[in-house]
Amino acid sequence: MSHPFPQPPLFTGEIRSQDPAILELLRRVVQLQEHAEKVRQHIDHLVPEYKKGSAVYDPPNLVDGAGTTTTVTVTGAALGDLAFAAFSLDTQGITVTAWVSAVNTVSVRFQNESGGALNLASGTLYAWSLQPPDLAQG
């Protein structure tokens, strides 16, 4: 699982100071850490987990109006998931479209509507999938 919000470490040290200002400051730090954990839990609910995969891909020469489709293994991808793809090189006007076509598989379409023939070099094709959030759950 990849997640953009890792959990920060919490303060677990022993407080030995008798200075009231330091004790109050440490009490507030602990409160902020507890509040941050609650916020992180809410964010985890709103930000869905995503799955990712990549493959080396050398698209064929595409004349204007032509396209080609390939697949990338994305472990955990499921039908109905949202899918995204990116190519590591300039696509020079080729449109790249992605969808989950089978369990663990994202299909990626390269479509040339540039007005001329294009022959992209070999590069890395990246694909991601994520389950759409159920906005009704709040």
Number of domains into which the chain is organized: 2
Angstrom distance (rounded) from CA 118 to CA 91 = 9
Position 1 scores a pLDDT of 45
Domain harbouring 75, CATH code: 2.70.40
What digits encode the pLDDT tens for the residues 112-124? 999 999 999 999 9
Q: Domain for residue 1, yes or no?
A: yes
What digits encode the pLDDT tens for the residues 21-55? 877 887 888 888 888 888 877 776 666 789 999 99
Position 28 scores a pLDDT of 85
Same domain, 64 and 110: yes
Residue 102 has pLDDT above 80, yes or no: yes
Q: Range of 10's domain? A: 1-47
Spell out the SS3 assignment of the chain.
CECCCCCCCCCCCCCCCCCHHHHHHHHHHHHHHHHHHHHHHHHHHHCCCEEEEEEEECCCCECCCCEEEEEEECCCCCCCCEEEEEECCCCCCEEEEEEEEECCEEEEEEEECCCCCECCCCEEEEEEEECCCCHHHC
Same domain, 55 and 21: no
Residue 100 has pLDDT above 80, yes or no: yes
Position 130 scores a pLDDT of 93
